[in-house]
Chain A
Amino acid sequence: MLNQSRQSHDLDQRSSACPEGSQSGAAGGTELPPQVLLAAPPSSPAPPLPPGGGGRGGGGQKRRRESQRAMKTFLGFFAALPAAALAAVIAALLVKAWPAILYNGTGFFTQRQWQPGGQYSQPVVTNGISHPLGASYGALPLIVGTVESSALALVMAVPIAIGTALVVVHKLPPRLSTATGLLLEILAGVPSVVIGLWGTIALGPFIARRIAPLIAHNVPDIAALHFLRGPVGYGQGLLTSAVVLAVMILPIIAATTRDLLRQVPTDATDGAAALGMTDAEILSAVTLPWVRAGMIGASVLGLGRALGETMAVAMVSGAVLGAMPSSIYQAMTTIAATIVSQLDSAFTDATGFAVRTLAEASLVLVLITLSVNVAARLLVRRVASTALPVGRGI
């Protein structure tokens, strides 16, 4: 990478920046603060190399150490930003949600009603917490809806992702496998609101007209499968949400599994092939065990992404507050979809209690997604050193 001309060019820069050097005023002296140096554009073509390079005395060493320290401080400030932002977000949620946590109590996790209370009556004060008369919040349907839709999405996405990764790595010619990578990138890059629009105008009606009747009318009438039966609805509900979520997490799982499969040592698969194993046997005995931990990690990461997904679910779930679907075709809602649809009306609550309750719901969502994410990363880090991709994105 460092070709001859660049070396000489940089060496010259170094000598010009040296205090002993005769030149002065060149771009990027040690006197400049680090950010200037980092941002300094590459300067003009290099003049000939001075003989002997740059000499260095005790003063240079000292300055060198100082500049090193200044740069560390500068960079360290920014490195602390993600941790600070994380702490600030959680602190802000806790402060906002604390009265709601006290007032709603454990009923928040066990009850089904979402009653903001009387907006036009005098606020009531209970245990020092001001709230509208009759305010009563239970988030059970939201929590159940969040977990159900994401789990269903995971069940759909994982086998498809593994199959795709196997074909891409082992069967497709390089050109086609690049094209499939492009497909996954597009799928990962399409904004969630666009996928939601697709779910509303194309997928939902298709499911209501073709898929749902097919399943609902052919599933045997036994109690364990009743969640697959019943009226097929109008295409907005648990099944549509789960399919949309599955489409959204497919690229993460498929791309990670593909990258893991490419790391399987060929010695091991060659050995298995030499023993006379078929492809299916090699896959089940060598390849899949090798990538299992990473694959589980990627799946759980996809689960975390599905749990927090907002816009697409808000558009295709039916977003019915308090709905506990008894079949996969019925409308439901999730925590994230509720926050986005209720925040506007929550601000009409003069006591601010509805907003505090949404903070509590956010906190619950954060706890669920973060525990899932941390579990995924611990799992992968413990078994393999493979780095997981950070979330969704192209």
Chain B
Amino acid sequence: MAAQKSPSASAHRIPRIPPIGPHSTPFRSTGRRRRTDISVWVLSAIALLVVAAPVGWILASIVGQAVLDWHWSVLSTPSVGTSGGLSNAIVGSAVIAGSVLVCAGVAGIAAGIYIAEYAPPAKASFLRGASEILSGVPSIVLGYVGYTTLVVSFHWGFSLAAATATLTVLVLPYIVKATEVALGQVPTSYREAAEALGFPPFRVLRAAVLRPAIPGIATGLIVAVAIALGETAPLLYTAGWSDRMPSLQPVHAPIAYLPYAVWTFYNEPYPSAHALSHDAALLLILFVLLLIVVSRVVVLTSQRHAPTARAKRGNSLRPR
């Protein structure tokens, strides 16, 4: 009815601007519309600059401070009180990140596979919800619980095991989510083809489902490593700190890690401690940049053969 009426109605009065949306009124002048248009894009461009500025500023201020008092011996000597080097912290961070990668990787990928492939819908939705809620628990709360239970009640002391368990809980949701999303993007036809070939269930999973999902899962693992390297709050009261190089003893052996150096040494009044704090921050930034490069390489190698529809169209708001 409305569609039939509109031609006759528009014959009397053609609106200059279609009255769609709350902000477009039919009688706004062209000049004002153009000014609005320009100011929207100018403000957006300023917003982009405001985002870019802190990135450059953070990198510049940290690198600037760290370069001033950088000694290569930082990489080779362990800390002595609030001076010395950071080799114990570098190795310790690597050990913690590695053990978190193994523990959280196995558990997270297995959980992601179960939720994506095997769980009935209601169960999957519950498990997914629990994982998402867990990701919202602040890291300091996990650190607190890790301290009062693992370190104190279980008598593990400040240790690699307590740190790994706490961080595993922290990064688990990221790996679960990444695995689940990656598996969800594998076409059903792959599974059907593998089933039709008579593969046993494991082989269907391994050959047809997991293999195409590897880039997505790898990205999730990289995110987990980045978090494990950079988190401070959950480690302060679970890993402790030690001037010695880390042993692989799981309990009763405090272990050094880089974020501790940034946080604690900055609060010390000595210039040598401040220098170590800046150096540790620089090393953390370098590790993060390295991980970003690795994840880019993973994504690029997997996407090389899959151009998107958006890439063909271009990104303009209006058609060419």
Contacts and interface: CB of A to CB of B under 8 A. Distances in A.
B197 A285 contact: no
B134 A285 contact: no
A393 B226 contact: yes
Interface in A322-369: 336, 339-340, 343, 355, 358-359, 362, 365-366, 369
A250 interface: yes
Interface residues on B, range: 35 or more
B47 A187 contact: no
Interface string A163-195: 110111111111001001011111101111111
B115 A280 contact: no
B230 A194 contact: yes
Contact of A83 (B18, B33, B126, B140): B126
Interface stretch (A10-18, A130-138, A220-228, A229-237): A10-18
Contacts of B278: 197
A164 B48 contact: yes
Interface in B43-65: 43-48, 50-52, 54-55, 57-59, 61-62, 65
A355 B148 contact: yes
Interface residues of A, number: 129
B164 interface: no
B118 A187 contact: no
Interface stretch (A68-76, A100-108, A110-118): A68-76
A72 B114 contact: yes
B155 interface: no
Contacts of B36: 278, 280
Interface of A: 1-2, 6-7, 10-11, 13-14, 17, 28, 30, 34, 37-38, 40, 53-54, 56, 64, 67-68, 71-72, 74-83, 85-86, 88-89, 92-93, 96, 159-164, 166-174, 177, 180, 182-187, 189-198, 200-203, 247, 250, 254, 262, 266, 269-270, 272-273, 275-287, 289, 304, 307-311, 315, 336, 339-340, 343, 355, 358-359, 362, 365-366, 369-370, 372-374, 377, 387, 389-391, 393-394
Given A14-B200, A201-B65, A377-B129, 15 more contacts: A2-B194, A2-B207, A37-B206, A67-B201, A72-B114, A82-B127, A89-B141, A161-B47, A171-B41, A172-B315, A183-B52, A189-B289, A194-B58, A197-B62, A278-B33
21 contacts: A10-B194, A72-B118, A76-B114, A81-B107, A82-B127, A82-B134, A82-B176, A85-B134, A92-B149, A93-B144, A171-B315, A177-B315, A186-B55, A187-B55, A197-B266, A197-B277, A279-B318, A285-B20, A377-B129, A393-B223, A394-B291
